[in-house]
Amino acid sequence: MIFITAKFQVRPESAEQWPEISRAFTEATRAEPGCLWFDWSRSLDDPHEYVLVEAFADDAAGAAHVGSAHFKAATTELPQHLAATPKIVNTTIEGQDWSELGEMAVEG
């Protein structure tokens, strides 16, 4: 799978509204057949930083995502709400789902 983590530094005046601002892009991406997950979190240390964790089944699914109308719309609509260019880690790994963290296994 293609595994991506990206950090978005959102302008202070857009930070509280970011979930709504990015909602159409998020929902459209989650509906893609090759999208395994597309999840936003907000930093505990910086209220203006959102972290996106996303995964796509394979290269074809990743290419379909980047070629989609909603991706192209996001690249023109979302930057006006950003304070800096997003930072990204993009890699291909084995598997299609999360693994368990055995060192913190919960019994019972």
Residue 94 pLDDT exceeds 90: yes
Is the pTM for the entire model greater than 0.85? yes
Average pLDDT over residues 52-70: 97
Give the domain ranges of the chain: 2-95
Residue 108 pLDDT exceeds 90: no
Give the CATH architecture of domain 2-95.
2-Layer Sandwich (3.30)
Residue whose tokens read 């991406």: 29
Residue 53 pLDDT exceeds 90: yes
Query: Which pLDDT value is given to residue 12?
Result: 98
CB 92 within 8 A of CB 3: yes
* Strand order from edge to edge, sheet including 35-42: 35-42, 49-56, 2-9, 87-92
Residue 99 pLDDT exceeds 90: yes
CB 78 within 8 A of CB 22: yes
